[in-house]
Structures are given as structure tokens and as C-alpha cells.
Amino acid sequence: MKAVIQRVKSASVTVEDVVAGRIGQGIMVLLGVEKGDSEARADWLAEKIAGLRIFSDQQGKMNLSVRDIGGALLVVSQFTLAGNCSKGKRPSFDSAAPPDEGQRLYEYFVGAAKRLGLPVETGIFQADMQVELVNDGPVTFVLER
């Protein structure tokens, strides 16, 4: 399971000109599910993101988590994170989970984040989405488990 997370001042995802999810300050999560991923990996990732101290305290140090600031998550499925670009010019998606398993674990991850008490907004699985965000910093991390 891979996630690209970005600290944001705001973020939204739109599908067919309708806003599917929108947050203010928090974390934009682009989530990729791969073959062999599990609920345990999703739980670990949700806990990691919830507790990751990437927001600035009063001294300007990254010392606060999304929980500490009362922020939210915007979680968008991103199967292209499983893309392998090492050979040729066309990415291979052999390591991506099949769509039904990808959706199940994506939804499980969203539920895990909610069970941690985080406000969570989402995109729509397998939809053509337009994502807008104001990256704060910019601060971006790649997490894998």
C-alpha cells in the first residue's frame, strides 16, 4: 500500500462537475493499493498518517499531527501509484490490486481513519476525478507499507 500525502490548507475532488469531497486544513491522501496488501497494512497506514507530526507548532517546528490541529483527510484512490516506469515508455500496472480488492481496501482504509476520529472526505473509486489543493509548505511525503 502506497500513499502520497500532502499537507494542505484546502483540497477538493470533483467528479463530473460535482464536488465529491472537500476539506480545509489537513492532509490530502493519494492512496494506491497493490497485490498482497491487507487490512493490517491499511490500519498501520491510517495510524501513521493520523499521528505524523507534519504541522508547525508556535515555534515553526513540525511538531503537530492532523489530530492536534483538528484537521481532516481527503482520501483519493490512485491506482497509478502502483505503476512501474522502469522499463520502456509505458507504465506497467502488474502490481496494482484488482479493482474489487483495491476498492475493498480503499474503503477499509477510509473506515480505519474515521475510527481514529478523523474527519474524512473522499473521491469516488475508479472515477475520472479532478483534484485541487493548496499545498502548505509545500510538504509532501511518500509512505509505503
Residue 26 pLDDT exceeds 90: yes
Three-state SS annotation for 22-67: EECCEEEEEEECECCCCHHHHHHHHHHHHHCCCEECCCCCEEECCC
Q: What's the mean pLDDT in 17-44?
A: 98
pLDDT in tens, 91-143: 999 999 999 999 999 999 999 999 999 999 999 999 999 999 999 999 999 99
Catalytic residue among 6, 14, 55, 79: 79
From CA 75, how far away is CA 72, in angstroms rounded? 10
Residue 10 pLDDT exceeds 90: yes
Catalytic residue among 78, 93, 122, 130: 78
From CA 32, how far away is CA 69, in angstroms rounded? 26
Q: What's the mean pLDDT in 40-56?
A: 98
Tell me what pLDDT residue 145 has.
81
From CA 43, how far away is CA 110, in angstroms rounded? 10
Residue 24 pLDDT exceeds 90: yes
122 is catalytic: no
140 is catalytic: no
From CA 18, how far away is CA 39, in angstroms rounded? 30
Q: What's the mean pLDDT in 18-39?
A: 98
Percent of the chain with pLDDT over 90: 99
Q: What is the CATH number of domain 2-144?
A: 3.50.80.10
14 is catalytic: no
Mean predicted lDDT score pLDDT of the chain? 97
Domain residue ranges of the chain, discontinuous segments joined by +: 2-144
